[in-house]
Amino acid sequence: LHFFPFFAQKKEKNVTLIMRAKNPYGKGFLEYVYKLGLKNQYDVKWFIRTIGMSSSLKKSVFINFKQHIFSLEKDKNWENTYTQVYYSNNFHSKVQYLSEKNTEEKTLSNLDWIAHKQQFFSTIFFANQPIKNVFIRSENFLSGNFLKKIQSHISLDLNFNRKKNDKFNFCFQFYFGPLDYFLLKQYGKGVENIIPFGWGFIKWINKYFFLIIFQFLERTNLNYGVIIILMTIVVKLILSPVTYKQYKLNAMMKLIRPEIDELNNKLKNSDPLKKQKAMMELYQEVGINPMSGCLSTLLQIPIFYSLFKFFPTIINLRGKSFLWVDDLTSYDSIFELPFFIPFYGNHVSLLTLLYSLALLGYTKLSSNNNDSNRSSSGGNIPDMRFILYLMPIIMLLFINSYASGLSLYYFTSNVINIGLIFFIKKFLLDEKKIYEKIQENKNNPKTKKRNYWEYKIKEIKEGRKNF
């Protein structure tokens, strides 16, 4: 459009605002129509239409969309890592984003939508047909109140109908609102995927496990800190069968430790493969599958990392307080340091400190109650023990500036773990009965558990003979 229209407001319904400008080059009008809240309170429909204008107009329109994104959260540096431009190539395809460089420029085509995303809010631009040509530029601000300046130069083709006096009526849609997963999912265009729940299996855990549990507990209308504690308890209850098996395996390994030490001394100068085979035969004889101990770890690792993505992105926790914590999506600070410590920061987070102490206590108790830190080849592994005791210090440095909701979850989780050690040992696991079961397995060959792969190899050999 080759003129700068002067708009005058035209009265309309409460949800509709019409801005009309007269064509300075001839007859007709240009109208911008804004319809508010048709889908939800954050939704704005924007129509560009002409009335009685001549066919001399170009059959394309250019939209320059520029936004200066304010810093809204407690930690600007942390918030800036979550502030990016997201877009979708072709309808319902994979969501992509511009890199986190200080300045990034990209020319794109066939876009379904463009989103200027912050940590908890987003501005999303939709069109009713694929956006054919877009030039996007994102620039970081290293100081001041702004995080980024994002510019989008959008080119759209318009189809005229001469029978209707060359009128056109082109529709756009804006979303100015929170990053609420279920709210964004209503648009049906994959927009909800701009919420950074993680990648692959971690994203699946957050979307279909933690988010569902969190929303269920949210109905209690309790304080959000209490909801996080309850969520920790629920997850622990779900994983309790696996946890119990892990403790039982540790108890069995502890009871056969003298036999393992005797076997190690007997074969200390033997071939490592021969020693390993003898060790596996011992495990089978007493009815132990050492690989079952990996199941607990394999389940807990993705859960552990998925929470790193869950708490800093769940908008329901934004600005929610708990005890001395003023925002569960940001760090809690009980003391500001006059200097900056690399990796740690310039403040002391009490929840992170409590979590590190609880992790240290749990590490010490679990090390004293199982033999997983000793190798099957005999002797202690000082490196493994060193790593275990180093983890509380690493976590203290690593999550001091992280979401306090995460520290609260981990602190509660480790307190529960410490309680479980005493509870299972006192009420659930009877070492005398376990020892009797081990002896029964040793004395009764029929109850010996065959190694899975040994069984499969024998099955294949027998199949070949029959063939």
Whole-number pLDDT of residue 364:
84
| Residue range 104-116, pLDDT digits in tens | 888 888 888 889 9
Residue 360 has pLDDT above 50, yes or no: yes
Residue 196 has pLDDT above 80, yes or no: yes
Cα separation, 135 vs 65, whole angstroms: 10
**Per-residue confidence band for 98, with pLDDT thresholds at 50, 70 and 90:** confident
Cα separation, 461 vs 285, whole angstroms: 23
Whether the Cβ atoms of residue 62 and residue 72 lie closer than 8 Å to each other: no
Domains of the chain: 8-196 (2.70.98.90), 202-447 (no CATH)
CA distances from 458 to 310, 387, 454, 463, 465 (A): 47, 40, 6, 8, 11
**Per-residue confidence band for 51, with pLDDT thresholds at 50, 70 and 90:** confident
Report the candidate in 49, 46, 118, 55 with the shortest Cα–Cα distance to residue 81.
Answer: 118
Report the candidate in 392, 401, 394, 313 with the shortest Cα–Cα distance to residue 349.
Answer: 401
Under 8 Å CB-to-CB from 60, ≥6 apart: which residues?
Answer: 155, 156, 157, 158
Whole-number pLDDT of residue 310:
93
Whole-number pLDDT of residue 448:
46
Edge-to-edge strand ranges of the sheet holding 121-131: 8-10, 16-22, 29-36, 43-51, 169-178, 121-131, 111-117, 84-89, 95-97
Whole-number pLDDT of residue 405:
93
Task: Give the lowest-confidence range in 41-45, 165-169, 208-212.
Answer: 165-169
Q: What is the DSSP letter of 450?
A: P
DSSP state letters, 254-309:
HHTHHHHHHHHHHTTTS-HHHHHHHHHHHHHHHT--GGGHHHHHHHHHHHHHHHHH
Residue 324 has pLDDT above 90, yes or no: yes
**Which pairs from 19-27 meet CB under 8 Å and 24+ separation?**
23/53, 25/56, 26/53, 26/54, 26/56, 27/52, 27/53, 27/54
Whole-number pLDDT of residue 166:
53
Q: Give residue 457's identity as a one-letter amino acid code.
A: I
| Residue range 149-169, pLDDT digits in tens | 888 888 776 554 444 445 667
